[in-house]
Amino acid sequence: MFDTFCFLLLLLFRFSLAQALTSPQDISALKAFKASIKPSSIPSWSCLASWDFTTDPCAIPRRTHFICGLTCSPDSARVTQITLDPAGYSGQLNPLVSQLTQLTTLDLSDNNFFGPIPSSITSLRSLQSLTLRSNSFSGSIPDSVATIKSLEYLDLSHNSLSGPLPKTLNSLSSLRRVDLSYNKFTGFLPKLPYNLLELALRGNYLSGYISKSTFDGLTQLEVVELSENSFTGTLQSWFFLLPSLQQVDLANNSFTRIEISKPPGGNSDLVAVNLGFNKIEGNVPANFSDYPLLSSLSLRYNRLRGAIPLEYSKKKSLRRLFLDGNFLIGKPPSEFFAGDTSVSGSLGDNCLQGCPGSSQLCIPSQKSYSVCKQAYGGKPRS
């Protein structure tokens, strides 16, 4: 009888272990995380509403509690992911999140979190993906975030973060994609991580020149989106010769000149370039036609002069061309208006002659003669 009783106790003990495997430090971190969210912002149908700590967070099956929002390790001992639903949660990110030391993914996007990003987040040494997009986080990015060597994806876009970008950003050796768009960051671009594939910093207050040292060694960089900032000066030819570059959006800045060299050996992956709404002067760069895959080019609303390069009309890959809003003169290439043309876009609002009004490319209409005359200090030449 005694042996049977002991056996039953052992079974009960093992059953309780199976039901409560989550690390105590992870449980306390999850409790603190939920406690920092305003209860009134937790809908009854949401993931956080199911976080009921009368049961173990990693216990399986999850029929009524912890049904979503977190993922645990295979042995149910550690929390590895927090991915909240966009339910409108409002609150601050509790510093005790740093206790979740096996966390690989933290995604709080599309909610109403506010306040600073806690510096303790740098204790998450296994973190690979940090997504705080579309919240109301404020303050600066902690400099120590550069110590998270495992970080591969960083998305802090659409918040109210401010201050300069961390000078130690290039220490994130595993970082592949970063999106810090639509915040209030100021200052210059720091040195970027070598393994970066995509860089997005649209809609900030960044300024200064685009320096070669910032992009030095970035042989894998494919996408650069720096539109809606205050970058100035000359965009030099080395930029478009970055070996893996495919898409560039530098619209709505204050660049004054661009230098375009032919790609070495005629090889380049460049597909799309947007330099619209800057202050770029000089002639339209004919060398863009030497980029074999270039499909979309926008130089609209700058201060460009002279004729449209004939090479553009002979470029088979070109599908979208926007040169409107400049001071271009002469007759546009007739190939643009042939029946088999595949080019769309606009050549309007220039000083061109003979741009057919029946063509969509010629909308809007050209500038008045007086405006063009003033721009050229006399009669504009054909």
By three-state DSSP, how is residue 362 classified? helix
Q: Is the pLDDT of residue 321 over 50?
A: yes
Residue with tokens 């204050």: 254
Distance CA 87, CA 280 (A): 45
List the single range of 7-16, 128-137, 148-157, 270-279 with lowest mean pLDDT.
Answer: 7-16
Residue that the structure tokens 């039953």 belong to:
8
Q: In the predicted model, what is the mean pLDDT of residues 196-213?
A: 98
Query: 33-47, 294-308, 334-348: lowest mean pLDDT where?
Result: 334-348
State the pLDDT at residue 138. Answer: 98
**pLDDT band with cut points at 50, 70 and 90 for residue 209:** very high
Domains and CATH numbers, the chain: 75-345 (3.80.10.10)
Handedness of CA 241, 245, 248, 250 (dihedral sign): negative
Q: Is pLDDT above 90 for 299?
A: yes
Q: Is 232 helix (H, G, I), strand (E, B) or coil?
A: strand
Alpha carbon distance 297, 109 (integer Å): 33
Ranges of beta strands (E only) in 151-288 are: 153-155, 160-164, 177-179, 184-187, 198-200, 205-208, 223-225, 230-235, 247-249, 254-258, 272-274, 281-283
Phi, psi of 162 (to 5 degrees): -145, -175
Q: Which two tokens stand for residue 168?
A: 């130690």
Q: What is the pLDDT of residue 342?
A: 84
Cis peptide before 142 (omega within 30 of 0): no
pLDDT at 9: 41
11: pLDDT confidence band, cut at 50, 70 and 90?
A: very low
User: How does pLDDT run across 350-374, given as a tens digit for each residue?
Assistant: 999 999 988 999 999 999 999 999 9
pLDDT band at 381, cuts 50/70/90?
low
Cα 317 from Cα 348, distance rounded (Å): 22
Ranges of H-type helices in the chain: 2-19, 24-35, 212-215, 237-240, 310-313, 369-375
pLDDT at 338: 86
Which pLDDT score is estimated for 12? 38
pLDDT of residue 146: 86
201-222 average pLDDT score: 97
Confidence (pLDDT) at 20? 53
Closest CA to 308 of 289, 345, 283, 291: 283
Average pLDDT score, the chain: 93
Contact 53, 27 (CB under 8 A): yes
pLDDT at residue 68 tops 50: yes
Going by pLDDT thresholds of 50, 70 and 90, the confidence category of residue 10 is very low
pLDDT exceeds 80 at position 4: no
**Dist. CA 177–CA 181, nearest whole Å:** 12
pLDDT for the residue 15: 41
Among 307-311, 332-336, 338-342, the range scoring the smallest mean pLDDT is: 338-342
> What per-residue confidence (pLDDT) applies to 380?
65
Instruction: Say whether pLDDT at 242 is over 70.
Output: yes
Q: What is the pLDDT of residue 3?
A: 54
CB neighbourhood size of 96 (10 A): 18
Q: How large is the average pLDDT for residues 247-268?
A: 97
